[in-house]
Amino acid sequence: MTRHTPIIPVDPHHPDADAIRQAAAVLRDGGLVAFPTETVYGLGANALDAEAIAGIYRAKGRPANNPLIAHISTVAELARVAVDIPERAHQLAAAFWPGALTLVLKRHPQVPGSVSLGRDTIAVRLPSHPVAHALIEAAGVPVVAPSANRFTRPSATTAQHVLADLDGRVDLILDGGPTPIGVESTVVDLTVDPPIVLRPGGVTFEALREHMPDVQRYSAAVAMDDDSARPASPGMLSKHYSPNASMLLFRGPFEAVTDAMRQTIGDCMQAGQKVGLLLPDAEQPLFANLDVEVVRLGADAAQMARHLFAALRQLDEQGVDCILARIPPAEGLGVTVGDRLLRAAEGQVIDVTDADI
Ligand code: TXA
Ligand code: MG
């Protein structure tokens, strides 16, 4: 495909029925449509069409070794993609769907094995975004959709990000504006006992635990790494998105980390490097009057999640040599933001202690 990919603007709350019909027809014909969900943009294909699924991996430039999420538009459709559905799946669906939670269940035999790369499981999500919902409903089939970014790029949270990564490689982009959550869904495996969070995401661990007290926390030892070339091995996060710049992440007591960051900024600048800083709004005054590129992520963890991927793309465009950020406190969406930062830094983090001051 060398031609440019057409973009159709749609109202995110009340998508135009003609635009949705047109996009649904592309999906039914085996094509690829990028569309907004409440988490990130997805790159959709008919989940029951093995050829279309192969097209997704080609378009992303991703090795075919990361299983895909099937998106549905009603809970009843669960029975089309999964079998032996446990009662707790229905409980979680009632609590969190439509929304940013993906359930790993036993795969229905009518779903091609290539969706989950031969595993007997399938990841399923019922998104809440009106455009995603309308598209899946109109397509009349479950829709597999990985995040609509090229392999090794941050997930796309705007149609412009999708275009930058996938122009000419997909058939159509529905532009419903920026995605409200900004990070991908939480993936929880219900085929194991106790259930385990494989990827922290838009639904917090605390919220999940209220409905499923025995759920286990994400651990790098078991999680499959998003967009990676293989499942992560113990203690190691393999390549996800890595900016051209080196990512320097800091973790530890607040004051000590601030001092360590200031020190590192000075060192980098002395070495002639252009420095980028990812900062929560409240921390901006701590780093004022420095000759660095600052991207403000927002006032709280939810806003940081919403802006993180766009911020990483922006700093890449600004050509910084190193990006500094603090790992947020490990609670609520801070866990998810920290996880995505760590993936971008390929697991490298500088642990600062009070003794280092
Ligand atoms: O928010 C999201 O989840 C977005 C939007 C588009 O829905 N999609 C997304 O897809 O992030 P993707 O392909 O980038 O990530 C899918 C995640 C990966 O971490 C993958 O390992 C996990 O879901 N996954 C998919 N199928 C699985 C399975 N059968 N067993 C375990 N993990 C699975
Ligand atoms: Mg992804």
Is the CB of 198 within 6 Å of ligand 1?
yes
Domains of the chain, with CATH numbers? Answer: 7-211 (3.90.870.10), 246-356 (3.40.50.11030)
Pocket test for ligand 1, best of 57, 60, 224 (most atoms within 8 A of CB): 224
Is the CB of 185 within 6 Å of ligand 1?
yes
Crossing angle (nearest 10°) for helices 17-28 and 130-139: 50
Is the CB of 186 within 6 Å of ligand 1?
no
Contact (Cβ atoms closer than 8 angstroms) between residue 134 and residue 20: yes
Tokens matching residue 328: 């947020």
C-alpha 113 – ligand 2 centre gap (Å):
19
Which of 235, 73, 218 shows the shortest CA–CA distance to 138? 73
When pLDDT is cut at 50, 70 and 90, the band that residue 318 belongs to is very high
Is the CB of 42 within 6 Å of ligand 1?
yes
C-alpha 170 – ligand 2 centre gap (Å):
16
Do the bridges between strand 101-107 and strand 172-175 make them parallel or antiparallel, or are there none, so unpaired? unpaired
Pocket test for ligand 1, best of 56, 97, 102, 237 (most atoms within 8 A of CB): 102
Amino acid making up residue 150:
R
Q: Which atom of ligand 1 is nearest to the CA of 189?
A: 31
Tracing tokens 């635990």 back to the chain, one arrives at: 209
Distances (CA, A) of 226 to 65, 127, 147, 207: 10, 19, 10, 22
Q: Which atom of ligand 1 is nearest to the CA of 100?
A: 1
Phi then psi for 129, rounded to 5 degrees?
A: -60, 130
3-state helix, strand, coil in the chain (%, to 5): 35, 20, 45
pTM: 0.94
Tell me the β-bridge partners of 240: none
When pLDDT is cut at 50, 70 and 90, the band that residue 229 belongs to is very low
Taking only the tens place, the pLDDT of each residue in 97-110 is 999 999 999 999 99
Which of 278, 298, 281 shows the shortest CA–CA distance to 340? 278
Mean pLDDT along residues 213-226:
67
Taking only the tens place, the pLDDT of each residue in 62-77 is 677 789 999 999 999 9
